[in-house]
Amino acid sequence: MSGPAVEPATPYLRVDVSRLRANIERTARWAATAGVSLRPHAKTHKSPEIARLQLAAGALGLTVATIGEAEVFVEAGAEDVFVAYPLWLTEAGARRVRDLADRADLAIGVDSAEAAQQAARLLEGSGVAALVEVDSGQHRSGVAPAGAGAVAAAAVEAGLPVRGVFTFPGHSYSPDALRTAAADEARALQAATASLRAIGLEPDVVSGGSTPSLAHTHTDELTELRPGVYVFGDAQQWELGTAAPGDLALTCRATVVSHAGGRLVLDAGSKALGADRAAYATGWGRLPAYPDARVVQLSEHHAVVDLAGAPLPRLGAHVDVVPNHVCAAVNLADTLWADTGSDTGGGLEAWPVAARGRNG
Amino acid sequence: MSGPAVEPATPYLRVDVSRLRANIERTARWAATAGVSLRPHAKTHKSPEIARLQLAAGALGLTVATIGEAEVFVEAGAEDVFVAYPLWLTEAGARRVRDLADRADLAIGVDSAEAAQQAARLLEGSGVAALVEVDSGQHRSGVAPAGAGAVAAAAVEAGLPVRGVFTFPGHSYSPDALRTAAADEARALQAATASLRAIGLEPDVVSGGSTPSLAHTHTDELTELRPGVYVFGDAQQWELGTAAPGDLALTCRATVVSHAGGRLVLDAGSKALGADRAAYATGWGRLPAYPDARVVQLSEHHAVVDLAGAPLPRLGAHVDVVPNHVCAAVNLADTLWADTGSDTGGGLEAWPVAARGRNG
Same domain, B121 and B153: yes
* A207-221, A340-354, B242-256, B283-297: the lowest-pLDDT one: A340-354
pLDDT over 60 at B114, yes or no: yes
CATH number for the domain including A157? 3.20.20.10
- The 3-state secondary structure of B182-196, one letter per residue: HHHHHHHHHHHHHHH
State residue B2's pLDDT score: 45
Q: Is B10 part of any domain?
A: no
From the list A10, A170, A331, the residue facing B299 with the nearest CB is A170
B272:A300 CB<8 A = no
Spatial distance between the Cα atoms of B221 and B204, rounded to a whole number of angstroms = 12
pLDDT band at B3 (very low <50, low <70, confident <90, very high): very low
Average pLDDT, chain A: 96
Name beta bridge partners: B252. B13, B321
> Which among B231, B262, B294 is the end of a domain?
B231
Q: Does A318 lie in the same domain as A291? A: yes
Residue B195 lies in a domain: yes
Read off the CATH number of the domain in which B347 is found: 2.40.37.20
Phi-psi region of B159 (alpha: psi -120 to 50; beta: other; left: phi over 0): left
Q: What is the pLDDT of residue A316?
A: 98
Chain B positions in Cβ-Cβ contact with residue A92 (cut-off 8 Å): 6, 9
Asked whether the predicted pLDDT for residue B77 surpasses 80, the reply is yes
Structural domain contains residue B63? yes
Are the C-beta atoms of B67 and B83 separated by less than 8 Å? yes
Give the tens place of pLDDT for each residue, A184-240: 999 999 999 999 999 999 999 999 999 999 999 999 999 999 999 999 999 999 999
Tell me: do A112 and A166 sit in the same domain: yes
Under the banding of pLDDT at 50, 70 and 90, the label for residue B300 is: very high
Specify whether B49 is located in the same domain as B125: yes
Which of B236, B258, B305 should one mutate to test binding to chain A, selecting the residue with the greatest count of A CBs within 10 A?
B258
Residue B3 in any domain: the answer is no
The confidence band for A7, taking pLDDT boundaries of 50, 70 and 90, is: confident
d(CA A182, CA A213): 5
Which residues in chain A are contacts of B8 at CB distance < 8 A? 360
Residue B180 has pLDDT above 70, yes or no: yes
Distance from B355 to chain A by nearest Cα, in Å? 12
Distance from CA of A356 to the nearest CA of B (A): 9
User: Does residue B296 share a domain with residue B193?
Assistant: no
Instruction: Kindly determine whether residue B257 and residue A359, on different chains, have CB atoms separated by under 8 Å.
Output: no
A268 → chain B, closest CA residue: B359
Q: Give the number of beta-carbon pairs within 8 Å between A and B.
A: 188
User: Which tens digits make up the pLDDT trace of A126-182?
Assistant: 999 999 999 999 999 999 999 999 999 999 999 999 999 999 999 999 999 999 999
Is A112 inside a domain boundary? yes
Contacts of B12 in chain A (CB under 8 A): 359-360
Read off the pLDDT of each residue in B187-206 and give the average, rounded to a whole number: 98
Say what the pLDDT of residue B341 is.
81
Residues A134, A70 within the same domain: yes
Separation CA A285–CA A238 (nearest Å):
10
Question: Which residues of chain A does B272 touch, with a Cβ-Cβ cutoff of 8 Å?
Answer: 359
Residue B91 lies in a domain: yes
Contact criterion met (CB < 8 Å) for B258 and A114? no
Chain A residue with Cα closest to B253: A360
- Minimal-distance CA residue of chain A relative to B272: A359
Please indicate whether, in this complex, the C-beta atoms of A93 and B142 are within 8 angstroms of each other.
Answer: no
In chain A, which residue's Cα lies nearest the Cα of B67? A9
Average pLDDT over residues B194-207: 98
Nearest C-alpha of chain B: how many angstroms from A196?
Answer: 18
The region, left, alpha or beta by phi > 0 then psi within -120 to 50, assigned to residue A243 is beta
Contact yes or no for B43 and A68 at CB 8 A? no
Percent of chain B with pLDDT over 90: 96
Residues of chain A above pLDDT 90, percent = 96
Helices A148-158 and A113-122 pack at an angle, to 10 degrees, of 20
Q: Which of these ranges, A93-107, A129-143, A215-229, A328-342, has the smallest mean pLDDT?
A: A328-342
Domain boundary among A231, A260, A282: A231
Domain-embedded: residue B205: yes
In the predicted model, is pLDDT for residue B347 greater than 90?
no
Contacts of B134 in chain A (CB under 8 A): none
Domain end point (choices A231, A262, A289): A231
Q: Which of B63, B271, B296 to mutate to test the interface with A (most CBs of A within 10 A)?
A: B271
Cβ-contact A38, A55 below 8 angstroms: no
Q: Which of B224, B209, B213 is nearest to B61 (CA)?
A: B224
Q: Is A86 in Cβ contact with B9 (below 8 Å)?
A: no
Classify residue A6: in a domain, yes or no.
Answer: no
With CB atoms and an 8 Å threshold, state whether A360 touches B11.
yes
Instruction: Kindly state whether residues A160 and A54 are assigned to the same domain.
Output: yes
Residue-level pLDDT at A345: 58
- Find the closest chain B residue to A119 by CA distance: B316
Read off the pLDDT band of B335 (50, 70, 90).
very high
Cβ-based neighbours of A181, under 8 Å, separated by 6 or more: A136, A137, A169, A170, A171, A172, A174, A210, A212, A213, A216
DSSP H or E stretch at residue A206: strand A205-208
Among B95, B133, B140, which would you mutate to test the A interface (most chain A Cβ atoms within 10 Å of its Cβ)?
B140
With an 8 Å Cβ cutoff, are B135 and A261 in contact? yes
Judge if A346 and A285 occupy the same domain. yes
A204 shares a domain with A69: yes
The yes-or-no verdict on residue A2 having pLDDT over 60 is no
Asked if B165 and B285 sit in the same domain, the reply is: no
- pLDDT tens-place string over residues B124-166: 999 999 999 999 999 999 999 999 999 999 999 999 999 999 9
The residue segments making up the domain with residue A318 are 236-352
Does residue A257 share a domain with residue A190? no
Q: Which pLDDT belongs to residue B6?
A: 67
B206 shares a domain with B129: yes
Number of folded domains in chain B? 2
Closest residue of chain B to A359, computed from CA coordinates: B11
